[in-house]
Amino acid sequence: MSKYLLNKFLYTVDRDPDLVERYRADPRELVAWWEGSLSNALLNCPTPEASTWQRLTDEERSALIEHDHCKLFELGAHPFLTLTLFIAMFERDNSEPLEYQKAYGARMARFALPYPDIAT
Amino acid sequence: MASIVAVIASTHHPFYYRASTSTGADRPPFADEWVRKITAFRETLTRANPDVLVMVGSDHFHQLWLDNMPQFLVGKAPFYDANWYNEEREFGLPRMLLKGQEDLSAHILRAGLDAGFDLAFSNELRIDHSVTCPIITLRPEADLPIVPIYTNIFAPPLPQPSRFVALGEAIRRIVEDWPSHLRVAIIGTGHLSLELGGPRQFGPHGPDPEFDRRAVEWIATGDLDSCLREVSLESLHAPGNATHGFMDFMLMMGVAGAGAKADHVDTLDLFHTMEAYFTWYPNGVPA
């Protein structure tokens, strides 16, 4: 399990408007592209230098492809990153203020303290 | 030596800018009261007539990332660009450019290292809403040079709460020892109880009003003993999963000093989280 890599996905997609749109429109395509291009990128280094060992588990990949923010929470992804990216993708469909944010919280009602550990 | 003309601690609500500038049907019902409280809070800084602002906040995974994460970082640069694409997108925050005060940055870094705080530094730092929200609320002209200080309240493992207090106490001494005639305000922002990305988020109040009540009491009365006795890295999960931002308030209690009663205390019970505003005048209330 790689909480770090899940967070790296959420972080790199959230900060790029084009990737946010691609993740909303076709998550399977975007996740596959990301694993092939960014998962091993060292973010502050020139591209010839990269890691060689980063890999999502099947469970993590499925959670990302299914836009399953509850599963991401259960896996220990950083809740701020998940929330920020999902608001970027789905708040636009609101019919009233905070509708998506409230529904997002309601979908997580099954989680009680202690929440999954987010330490990386 | 420099004088500390105000110590200020505040929440940093990213929705204030949009709420306070919206009009007509877009203006939320709580906006007018919020603006009144912020205007009174702003006056507490204006009255102190500062020349320089030390700004304590926490990067929200904007420039600081898990491949290279500092616990405490001091900016040392002539300028700081501010606010990020995703803050513009979600909160409507404007892009800003703030001047830096490099002499004070260098002094804080040198003296902080010598005092036992292994501070990281950055010579090219784009700051985020933890610093720009208090600029917008307290000094919207954004005309004073700053020294940004970032703390890690966000990406565990985190420093202990007592370490935040100790750093605040050290910053107070260090700024007082700065060989300068300038008037310094030290401003820090954090959270009371807060939940982000969990089941208790975006409720009608903050997730733990009882924690908020006690927290405001600790801060307003400078009750560091009770605060340190009751707050731990573990206990802060209970009021809400983002409540570790309260440690930035604890840092500011360290700056203000044990037992220091705040000269200005105000709160606003909003949806999602409670706002709280505190000002201390170490040299007495300005005329």
CB–CB of B86 and A104 under 8 A?
Answer: no
Structure ipTM: 0.95
The answer to whether A39 faces chain B, any CB pair under 8 Å, is: no
Q: State the Cα–Cα distance between residues B255 and B249, nearest whole angstrom.
A: 10
The answer to whether B259 faces chain A, any CB pair under 8 Å, is: no
The answer to whether B26 faces chain A, any CB pair under 8 Å, is: no
Task: Find which of A12, A20, A108 to mutate to test the B interface (most B CBs within 10 Å of its CB).
Answer: A108
The predicted structure's pLDDT at residue A47:
80
Closest chain A residue to B85, measured at CA: A15
**Nearest CB neighbour to A114, from listed B90, B237, B242:** B237
Q: Where does residue B129 fall: left (phi above 0), alpha (psi -120 to 50 degrees), or beta otherwise?
A: alpha
The predicted structure's pLDDT at residue B271:
86
In chain A, where the domains are located: 3-107
CB–CB of A98 and B84 under 8 A?
Answer: no
CA B185 from centroid of its chain's CA atoms: 12
SS3 A98: coil
- In one-letter notation, the amino acid at residue A109 is A
A36, two tokens: 């092939």
The predicted structure's pLDDT at residue B214:
98
Q: What is the pTM of this model?
A: 0.97
CB–CB of B66 and A113 under 8 A?
Answer: no
Cβ atoms of B94 and B46 within 8 Å: the answer is no
Q: State the Cα–Cα distance between residues B242 and A79, nearest whole angstrom.
A: 9
Q: Find out if CATH 3.40.640.10 is the number for domain B3-280.
A: no
User: Strand B96-99 to strand B3-11: parallel, antiparallel, or no bridges (unpaired)?
Assistant: unpaired
H or E element: which one contains A13? helix A3-14
Contact residues, A window 49-88, toward B, CB-based 8 Å cutoff = 69, 73, 78-84, 87-88
Give me the count of residues in chain B: 287
B261 CA to chain A: closest CA distance, Å?
Answer: 33
Which residues of chain A have a pLDDT value below 70?
1
Per-residue pLDDT of chain B (287 residues; tens, 9 = 90+): 999 999 999 999 999 999 999 999 999 999 999 999 999 999 999 999 999 999 999 999 999 999 999 999 999 999 999 999 999 999 999 999 999 999 999 999 999 999 999 999 999 999 999 999 999 999 999 999 999 999 999 999 999 999 999 999 999 999 999 999 999 999 999 999 999 999 999 999 999 999 999 999 999 999 999 999 999 999 999 999 999 999 999 999 999 999 999 999 999 999 889 999 999 999 999 98
CB–CB of B198 and A115 under 8 A?
Answer: yes
Q: State the Cα–Cα distance between residues B87 and A6, nearest whole angstrom.
A: 21
CA B216 from centroid of its chain's CA atoms: 15
CB–CB of A105 and B198 under 8 A?
Answer: yes
Q: How many CB atoms lie within 10 A of CB B49?
A: 11
User: Strand B96-99 to strand B183-190: parallel, antiparallel, or no bridges (unpaired)?
Assistant: unpaired
Q: How many CB atoms lie within 10 A of CB A8?
A: 24
Query: Chain B contacts of A120, Cβ < 8 Å?
Result: 66, 155-156
DSSP string, chain B: --EEEEEEEEE--TTHHHHHH--GGGS-TTHHHHHHHHHHHHHHHHTT--SEEEEEE---SSS--TTS--SEEEE--SEEEE--HHHHHHH-PPPEEEEB-HHHHHHHHHHHHHTT---EEESS--B-HHHHHHHHHH-TT--S-EEEEEE-SSSSS---HHHHHHHHHHHHHHHHT-----EEEEEEEE-SS--SSSTTTT-SS-S-HHHHHHHHHHHHHT-HHHHHHH--TTGGGTT-TTGGGHHHHHHHHHHH-TTPPPSEEEEEE-SSSEEEEEEE-TT----
Backbone angles phi, psi at B169, to 5 degrees: -60, -40
The predicted structure's pLDDT at residue A1:
61
Q: State the Cα–Cα distance between residues B200 and B194, nearest whole angstrom.
A: 9
**Whole-number Cα distances in Å, B73 to A55, B64, B109, B154:** 31, 10, 9, 14
The answer to whether A105 faces chain B, any CB pair under 8 Å, is: yes
The answer to whether B86 faces chain A, any CB pair under 8 Å, is: yes
